[in-house]
């Protein structure tokens, strides 16, 4: 199987490349320098030249607070870019696996979100990812739309690097304790995505690690594993205002993966410990 990865320099892209190194697949690695997904000509030329069996789109604009002031960037990268990929994949007969987010939901539901729950984005980032989903569905029938949440990996920056940075400076930490989600390791997500790409079970999926936590609970585990003693106290979202509104509930249930018998995601604590064992010294 031949797969092309976009956004290969990012956290998920690197995890995919690392996972594929252990498989007998041909891999085409692209990032902004090799193929800007917002450039239709570049997308068409690259996909037509390489003719992979599947494209995994790990490219995205994800600095959610910055995007509130730069919606054009959000919609170009997160909506028009996926549309270009979807059109090219349809014309060439390729599978497209596109990554989306919990931010397409408003976070008001008290139970975990399933794939068919109504979307209601609350931020520029959320709306841009929602539109990206819509364009992929419209333009490429052979698609996998995979929503994930609270993703972390190398090289960062991410929540783990932020917590470690402040703790190592001896700074007190206030961490939100009224937002719930599931910390999801890119190392755990990568094999799940490849397992989907091998099938023709096209559609929309949730893929996060199992279980749930608050940001405060996640921060406590990070500090414990790093052996750092730091003052950390829980706070409410209102005490830590940000330009982009966060969903209070980001817990996604991998319902359709489970129904398909394809759910490979471990519990979030197990995935974090594996990530730390492999990469803790680099953080």
Point out the residues that are catalytic: 125
Q: What is the spatial distance between Cα 244 and Cα 122, in angstroms, rounded to a whole number?
A: 8
Q: How many CB atoms lie within 10 A of CB 232?
A: 18
Q: In what order do the strands lie in the sheet with 2-6?
A: 26-29, 2-6, 54-57, 95-101, 143-148, 203-206
Which residue shows structure tokens 């680099």?
282
Paired tokens of 107 = 């976070």
Q: What is the spatial distance between Cα 168 and Cα 207, in angstroms, rounded to a whole number?
A: 32
Residue 245, phi then psi, degrees to nearest 5: -75, 130
Sign, CA torsion 144/64/107/219: positive
Using only C-alpha atoms, what is the Rg of the chain? 18
**Residue ranges of the alpha helices (H) in the chain?**
11-20, 40-50, 64-67, 71-75, 81-92, 124-139, 159-168, 186-197, 215-226, 255-260, 268-279
Q: Are 225 and 85 in contact (CB under 8 A)?
A: no
């Amino acid at each position: 199987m031949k797969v092309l990865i976009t956004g290969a320099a990012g956290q998920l892209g690197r995890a995919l490349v690392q996972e594929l190194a252990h498989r007998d697949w041909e891999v085409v690695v692209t990032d902004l320098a090799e193929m800007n997904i917002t450039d239709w000509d570049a997308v068409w030329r690259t996909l037509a030249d390489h003719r992979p069996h599947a494209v995994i789109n790990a490219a995205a604009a994800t600095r959610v607070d910055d995007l509130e002031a730069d919606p054009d960037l959000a919609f170009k990268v997160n909506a028009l870019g996926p549309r270009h990929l979807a059109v090219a994949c349809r014309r060439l007969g390729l599978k497209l696996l596109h990554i989306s987010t919990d931010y397409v939901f408003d976070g008001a539901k008290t139970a975990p979100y399933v794939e068919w729950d109504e979307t209601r984005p609350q931020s520029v980032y959320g709306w841009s990812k929602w539109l990206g989903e819509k364009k992929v569905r419209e333009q490429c029938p052979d698609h996998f739309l995979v929503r994930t949440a609270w993703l972390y990996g190398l090289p960062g920056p991410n929540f783990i690097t932020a917590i470690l940075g402040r703790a190592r400076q001896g700074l007190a930490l206030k961490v939100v304790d009224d937002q719930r989600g599931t910390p999801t390791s890119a190392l755990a997500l990568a094999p799940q995505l490849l397992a989907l790409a091998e099938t023709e079970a096209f559609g929309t999926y949730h893929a996060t690690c199992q279980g749930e936590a608050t940001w405060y609970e996640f921060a406590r585990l990070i500090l414990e594993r790093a052996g750092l003693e730091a003052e950390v106290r829980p706070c409410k979202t209102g005490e830590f205002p940000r330009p982009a509104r966060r969903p209070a509930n980001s817990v996604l249930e991998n319902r359709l993966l489970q129904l398909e018998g394809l759910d490979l995601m471990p519990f979030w604590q197990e995935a974090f410990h594996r990530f730390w064992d492999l990469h803790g010294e680099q953080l």
